Structure 1
Amino acid sequence: MDTELPLADELAIVFARLSNVLLTEETVANALTLITEAAVLAVDDAAGAGVSLMDSTGNRSSAASTSDIVAQADNLQYDLGQGPCLSAWASGYPVDISDVRTDLRWPEWGMAADDLGLRSCISVPLLSGDLAFGAIKIYWKEPKAASHRLIRLLELFAAQASIFLVNVQARERGRMLSEQLKSTLTQRDIISTAKGIVMANRGIGSHDAMLHLMTRALKEARTLREVADEIIQTTQGLGT
């Protein structure tokens, strides 16, 4: 990438390639994959990139990576409980490691990353307001001194990626709630229909019909929905 371009222009070029696709993504997993690919495009000579999403206890909830070696390096951080990604998330600030062989902040992870063939890394937190909910990291196979320009570029990139992820997560949660609501309404309608059939067949009131359904479900060790489905199917069968 032309390093003479202003940072805003560099970032615009990268996201212009993927923004239309990202805006149409309906799942966090797909958006993560696209974001890691965009991160590799944003820098030179990267071995790969990864995104980690973490809960309030620091446990990874979701992740994506551009290669197996990145996934292995990330998993080592989670297993060992140390590394630049976890530190960026915990502090809310960018963390860089120019050479795993000389940086002693995370000795176990550094040795393991070196064994994988990775020598340097920059990790930037994903922020929603003041809350860090994950981190994006880029690895190199050679030692790399992190310039202020490169870190600033990744900070701007992470800020844009955070907006995409927050929007996609909200959309995904909304869709899940919508599906749950539809399922609940469907179940309610089925049980209500079965109750009406019992009322008509037995000549009893609403309360007694519901009690009949619940008693039968308990006696047969089935759900209320299963009992209701059977009553409706049986009635439909008699009507044909």
Structure 2
Amino acid sequence: MAVKLPLADELAAIFARASELLLTDETVSRALELITAAAELAVPGAAGAGVTLIDADGRKHTASASSRMVQVADERQYELGQGPCLLAWASGEPVLVSDVLHDRRWPEWACAAAELGLRSSVSAPLLAGESALGSVKIYGRPENSFDHTTVRLLELFAAQATIFLINVQARESARTLSEDLRDALAHREIIAVAKGILMARHGLDEDTAMQDLLMESRRARRSLRDVSSELVSSTQPPR
């Protein structure tokens, strides 16, 4: 039987408005702020919302929070290595906490949350294929602020938020790539020399040598010109 979602239309409207950002110069940071504000708006009883992002090395940070209270509640999870938003990310499943004072899964974090005046929460993973980018979560002050209908709603919200976030990230990456290419055209001579060095040193063709330079530029978070200049300088004999 289908779950009735009284706010489904409102949720669709929120993301219809949010999608307009894809036509503007908004950044990933701004997109996260919008996602957080929309989550708090979409869920009745939410006292705060936030987005946790976790990279491939397991580094966690609250990328956006609607209040300092949310930030602190998240930070306690990171410090203790336990809590609902971390479980949502690790398991790829939503996590409902009806009452932190009666939830035995994370006793230390539950105490910290109760001290902040938070008694309930829902966390949903931001899933991109088989990977989880992090989680979106809402907190409530009273116990039993949320139920399984809320869980389903936040799941749908998280799915749309992930698509939105990936699109903005892709656009921002494309913009950065374009800036790199413009820089490359302005300094094509030094880049051509660097390509020649790699081709001679490793027996590469021109396209592969260029790809290696681009990959090193991304890895080192430096411009293509700077990476090429360093390579050329390192091959020049000392005077």
Identify whether the pair has TM-score above 0.5, normalized to the shorter chain.
yes
CA displacement at 1:51 relative to structure 2? 0.6
What are the equivalent positions in structure 2 for 1:177-196 lying under 5 Å apart? 177-189=177-189
The letter of the residue matching 2:163 is: I
Deviations 1:86-120 (A, max 9, x none): 00000000001111111111111111111111111
- Partner of 1:114, secondary structure, is helix
Instruction: Name the residue aligned to 2:115.
Output: 115
Aligned CA distance change for structure 1 residues 162 and 54 (closer, same or farther; 3 Å) = same
Instruction: Name the residue aligned to 1:203.
Output: none
Give the aligned CA root-mean-square deviation in angstroms: 2.7
1-side partners of 2:18 and 2:171: how far apart? Answer: 19
1-side partners of 2:15 and 2:167: how far apart? Answer: 16
Aligned CA distance change for structure 1 residues 218 and 66 (closer, same or farther; 3 Å) = farther
Contact 1:125 1:132 in 2 (8 A): yes
2-side partners of 1:33 and 1:6: how far apart? Answer: 24
CA displacement at 1:56 relative to structure 2? 2.4
Aligned CA distance change for structure 1 residues 103 and 69 (closer, same or farther; 3 Å) = same
Structure 2-normalised TM-score? 0.73
Deviations 1:120-142 (A, max 9, x none): 11000001112111100000111
What are the equivalent positions in structure 2 for 1:38-187 lying under 5 Å apart? 38-60=38-60, 63-144=63-144, 146-187=146-187
2-side partners of 1:102 and 1:218: how far apart? Answer: 71
Deviations 1:122-178 (A, max 9, x none): 000001112111100000111125322111111111111000001111111122222
What are the equivalent positions in structure 2 for 1:193-204 lying under 5 Å apart? none
Contact 1:117 1:141 in 2 (8 A): yes
CA displacement at 1:6 relative to structure 2? 4.5
In structure 2, the gaps of 5 or more residues are 193-228
Structure 1-normalised TM-score? 0.73
Aligned CA distance change for structure 1 residues 171 and 69 (closer, same or farther; 3 Å) = same
Aligned CA distance change for structure 1 residues 25 and 96 (closer, same or farther; 3 Å) = farther
The letter of the residue matching 2:29 is: A
What are the equivalent positions in structure 2 for 1:211-222 lying under 5 Å apart? 214=233
The letter of the residue matching 1:144 is: N
Aligned CA distance change for structure 1 residues 214 and 58 (closer, same or farther; 3 Å) = closer
1-side partners of 2:171 and 2:62: how far apart? Answer: 16
The letter of the residue matching 1:113 is: A
- Partner of 2:156, secondary structure, is helix
* Count of aligned pairs: 197
Q: Give the fraction of aligned pairs with identical amino acids, expressed as a percent.
A: 57
2-side partners of 1:176 and 1:62: how far apart? Answer: 24
Aligned CA distance change for structure 1 residues 84 and 218 (closer, same or farther; 3 Å) = farther
- Partner of 1:125, secondary structure, is strand
Q: Greater CA radius of gyration, 1 or 2?
A: 1
